Amino acid sequence: MTDDLSLSGVAVVVLGAGLGTRMKSDLPKVLHPVAGRPMVNHVLAAAGAVGPERSVVVIGPGMDNLAKAVAPAVTAMQETARGTADAVKAARQTLAGFGEGQGQADLVVLFGDAATLEAQTLHDLVVARREADAAVAVLGVNLTTENRYGRLVKAPDGSLERIVEFCDISDEEKSITLCNSGMMSLNAHVAFELIDAIGNDNAKGEFYLTDVVEIARSGGHSVTVLEIDDPDDTIGADDQLDLARFEAVMQRRLRERAMAEGCSMAAPETVFLSCDTVIGRDVTIEPHVVIAPGVTIGDGVIVKSFSHLENCTVGRDARIGPYARLRPGASIGDDAHIGNFVEIKNATVEPGAKANHLSYIGDARIGARANIGAGTITCNYDGYLKHHTEIGEDAFIGSNTALVAPVTVGDGAIVGAGSTLTHDVEPHALSVERSKQVTREGLARSIRKRNAAEKERRKQEQEKDG
């Protein structure tokens, strides 16, 4: 495998107009997420590695959410679902002029639900067509288990003779292990000439791109096949079960990549990452951690068990968790500590600051080396608007403090435990807000006696009514 997979003269068409009815969802099939990213965006990322001159996503009517998700990729509309060949035709205008004056030019057709497609496979598919000087190269995968995929039938010379749909497979052909992924690369100079020759004389009255193999051969063109053995690299997702399998495949890849780059995971199968997760060197992620999209973790960080991170940054040598939640906008500084059952949202925790127990910090800045006592909360929402809390460097916030925003605690200030702050605290001041403690000797005994008598009275009434 090479680091640079770019190729000149490549255009990519991604088919995404299918509704995916077996997903049992109102969301277009290709928008279902895998590792925090829609499936179609995984396909576009793989395609992007070969440096395509043009990329087109074919969508259906009413799929504005799909067009938005794939932007800035260009979209083309397939007004009526009339098969895969018709879908490629929908991209014709967008591809006008592509390949003109170029010796080698490939039109690569991919499916938007092939989320686990590797860029290397796509690169190899184009190279296989060019090296064979073929009109079409089809991507096939060897599957030894029972399946419902079409089969690729090869000629004696090793070229691809035809594609047999599963519903038309003979008993003899069922023994063929080479299955059709549906993805292919076509010589762009003849691609639409071949596609235009595809008819719809079939039970569904649709135009199937797979017919291009027979049409190419009948026209004197050669057809080749790129064989791979990894089904995780080719097969699309039809339902929620397939989607779960895709997630497992992608999570395995992400974990292996992270560990190869120096991340330590004692139980990697329990850690969930996102495709854009950035992890530094010497990071330890303990079991049962979920990292949602948009997370960057610096060198030397320890993320303890049962923590959840999303759209946040964690600085070098910080300690997170266990049972911590970092929500969008959380920025944790170097050597900061966010501990048990602490939630941070849209807040900056500066280097060396600590919130070790049972606290909520939202819409705030916690200054360097400040200490947030157990049970502290920032009261940031008044029912209509969010308000900011400012805590200075080296400040000490006592346990069970409520900071009613907007409020500022100055550098080096101390807030006594149990306080409810509604006014600013000057730097290096001590602020304590508590009601007077009142103690009445022996009163607890009489309260217990009274409550016990009431409990017994209610019990007797229930027995009487019962």
Radius of gyration of the chain (CA): 31
Between the CA of residue 250 and those of 119, 209, 233, 244, what are the distances in Å? 14, 28, 10, 10
The amino acid occupying position 65 is N
127-163: b (≥16 Cβ within 10 Å) or e: bbbbebebbbbbbbbebeeeeebbbbbbeeeeebbbb
Task: Please state the φ and ψ torsions of residue 457, each to the nearest 5 degrees.
Answer: -60, -45
Question: Which alpha helices (H) appear in 39-118, and where do they start and end?
Answer: 39-48, 64-70, 84-89
Whether 357 is a known active-site residue: answer yes
Task: Please state the φ and ψ torsions of residue 430, each to the nearest 5 degrees.
Answer: -105, 125
Length of the chain: 466
CA-wise closest residue to 233 among 157, 349, 321, 143: 143
Between the CA of residue 274 and those of 65, 371, 442, what are the distances in Å? 21, 31, 60
- Number of C-beta neighbours around residue 420 at 10 A: 12
Task: Please state the φ and ψ torsions of residue 182, each to the nearest 5 degrees.
Answer: 90, -15
Active-site annotation holder among 189, 288, 357, 387? 357
CA 245 to chain centre: 14
Q: What is the DSSP code string of 391-435?
A: E-TT-EE-TT-EEESSEEE-TT-EE-TT-EE-S-B-TT-EE---P
For residue 381, give the DSSP letter: B
Residues annotated as catalytic are: 357
